[in-house]
Amino acid sequence: MKEALAHRTSAAEAAGAAAAADTQAGCPALKSDSRLTPFTILTGGSRSAATVALLSDHSPDSKMIKNGHHHHHQVNTAAGKDAGTTPGTAACSPEKRRRRIRVWCDGCYDMVHYGHSNQLRQAKAMGDYLIVGVHTDSEIAKHKGPPVFTQAERYKMVRAIKWVDEVVEGAPYVTTLQTLDKYNCDFCVHGDDITLTVDGKDTYEEVKKSGRYRECKRTQGVSTTDLVGRMLLMTKAHHSNIDSSDYQQHTDNFGKKGHSPWTGVSQFLQTSQKIIQFASGQEPQPGDTIIYVAGAFDLFHIGHVDFLEAVHKLAEKPYIIVGLHFDQEVNRYKGKNYPIMNVHERTLSVLACRYVSEVVIGAPFAVTKDLLDHFKVDLVCHGKTEIYPDKDGSDPYAEPRREGILRTVDSVNSLTTDAIVQRIIKNRLLFEARNQKKEANEIAVIQAMKRQEEEKTKERAQAVL
């Protein structure tokens, strides 16, 4: 045992400081199905472990999804807390120890959505330690056009995704072997689409040729282009001087002129498997402080992250339950075309956040005594934003106020979903030009690939003759 540990330590030192930093003297996390732990559902007040039967937006019931990613469930080794260890992974025997696989992902991660999170989830499942490189504003502007969020906002958003172990700020736009070697990464992972430089070159060409490239499935039904399009549909209420017929044609054509399978969006269809993959299944533990927050959490953004992080800091062992309102409820108090993302999309976005332990899908608008007793809530939190009244004009937080457990949390971040929409509207033409250019480049690449395949087919046919 001691000889094995000594040999392991020596090997780690020889591999370099970065590799040694995350190679524990104890046991590294082994790849297992613990990353996809089934969760517990609460429906109608009963608790049962099962596969989810999704409820429609019109259902009066709600589902609670166990997420369980908060700090005190992390597994510790003899050498200290392992940042790359999956919560709930049991310690392994010495003979099962192996070198940890370090995975690299990179990208813009602008307007982070559940598609980005799902890519990072798949990448983490291919190894043990996930490093994510995020590009600067200037690099994105050079190759794609202006980002919606600043680089500081994007860095923090990616750090909040529970599968991410480390973030590299200002990562180069083109992925090279030098970058992989610098961070001791075995390979990089990207979706089954293509990323091009301003010159139209594949940014992963070098690592693909070297065999250090892995591919994961792109999440169908969502893209940044699609989300921007949804927001632009909301500009009609703010720009009444635009001719209605021209405006309708303008918005109808947005994101639909090209035929790229990568930028084009199909309809999102929620399944129980998608939710299981995002949820972790942790129950509240003795000594946990159960904290309840509720809202739309639409276009899950840095303002939400800062709020949830501030809530997380209120207790030594927080267990945060997020109640998501159904689409009809959100539209009632927000108006216009809100929510921009439907309740199923918002569920995955919130589940991907490392500060969230559970999600209640279709939470009641009023925080009632039954709800507080059912979940054994210790604290109810709300941000500095306006509290909308219930349908009858009553205060939805009257009960937690009466019990003295309501707390207003100031995250020192005033960003709202409305503010994000305003960013898009303000730079509408720039974002349209950016996305149209992106799709045009993708179509050109697809056509070139098709021609190459046709030429190869002809050559094979001639060889047979």
pLDDT digits (tens, 9 = 90+) for 51-72: 333 333 334 345 566 664 444 3
- Nearest to 342, CA basis, from 360, 356, 357, 329: 329
Residue 74 CA to residue 81 CA, distance in Å, equals 8
Sequence-distant (≥ 6) Cβ neighbours of residue 339 within 8 angstroms: 296, 298, 327, 330, 331, 346
Label residue 431 by pLDDT band (50, 70, 90).
low
pLDDT exceeds cutoff 70 at 97: no
Statement to judge: residues 412 and 285 lie in one domain = yes
Of 181, 197, 216, the one marking the end of a domain is 216
Statement to judge: residues 153 and 228 lie in one domain = no
pLDDT exceeds cutoff 50 at 379: yes
Task: Summarize the confidence of residues 83-106 as an average pLDDT.
Answer: 62
CB 58, CB 359: distance < 8 Å: no
Statement to judge: residues 149 and 254 lie in one domain = no
For 111-126, b/e burial (b = at least 16 CB within 10 A) is bbbbbbbbbbbbbbbe
CB 312, CB 355: distance < 8 Å: yes
Statement to judge: residues 408 and 304 lie in one domain = yes
Task: Summarize the confidence of residues 143-155 as an average pLDDT.
Answer: 91
> Is there a domain that residue 106 lies in?
yes
> Is there a domain that residue 29 lies in?
no
Specify the pTM: 0.70
Statement to judge: residues 174 and 148 lie in one domain = yes
Strands 40-43, 46-49: pairing kind: antiparallel
pLDDT exceeds cutoff 80 at 23: no
Strands 289-295, 318-324: pairing kind: parallel
pLDDT exceeds cutoff 90 at 286: yes
Helix axes 224-232, 417-426, angle to 10 degrees: 90
Strands 406-408, 379-382: pairing kind: parallel
Statement to judge: residues 115 and 208 lie in one domain = yes
pLDDT exceeds cutoff 90 at 98: no
- DSSP 3-state assignment of 380? strand
Task: Summarize the confidence of residues 411-421 as an average pLDDT.
Answer: 93
**Per-residue pLDDT at 458:** 77
- Residue-range definition of the domain harbouring residue 304: 280-416
Share of the chain above pLDDT 90, in %: 49
> Is there a domain that residue 124 lies in?
yes
Residue 199 buriedness (CB in 10 A; 0-12 / 13-18 / 19+): exposed
pLDDT exceeds cutoff 80 at 193: no
288: left (phi over 0), alpha (psi -120 to 50) or beta: beta
Task: Extract the runs of DSSP E, i.e. beta strands, from 97-144.
Answer: 102-107, 129-134
Task: Summarize the confidence of residues 357-376 as an average pLDDT.
Answer: 97
In this structure, which amino acid lies at residue 435? N
pLDDT, mean over the chain: 76
Statement to judge: residues 122 and 194 lie in one domain = yes
Least confident of 157-161, 165-169, 221-225: 221-225
CB 344, CB 268: distance < 8 Å: yes
For residue 161, the cross-strand partners are: 353
Label residue 446 by pLDDT band (50, 70, 90).
low
Count CB atoms within 10 A of the CB of residue 176. 16
Statement to judge: residues 286 and 389 lie in one domain = yes
**Per-residue pLDDT at 353:** 98
> Is there a domain that residue 58 lies in?
no
Count of domains for the chain: 3
Task: Summarize the confidence of residues 354-377 as an average pLDDT.
Answer: 97
Q: Kindly write down the DSSP assignment for every residue of 222-252, as one continuous string.
A: --HHHHHHHHHGGGGGT-TTS-HHHHHHHHH
> Is there a domain that residue 437 lies in?
yes
**Per-residue pLDDT at 266:** 44
For residue 129, the cross-strand partners are: 102
Statement to judge: residues 254 and 164 lie in one domain = no
pLDDT in tens, 322-341: 999 999 999 999 998 899 99
Statement to judge: residues 379 and 445 lie in one domain = no
**Per-residue pLDDT at 435:** 62
Residue 104 buriedness (CB in 10 A; 0-12 / 13-18 / 19+): buried
Distance of CA 196 to the CA centre of its chain: 23
Label residue 464 by pLDDT band (50, 70, 90).
confident
Instruction: Give me the CATH number covering residue 383.
Output: 3.40.50.620
CB 333, CB 321: distance < 8 Å: no
- DSSP 3-state assignment of 291? strand
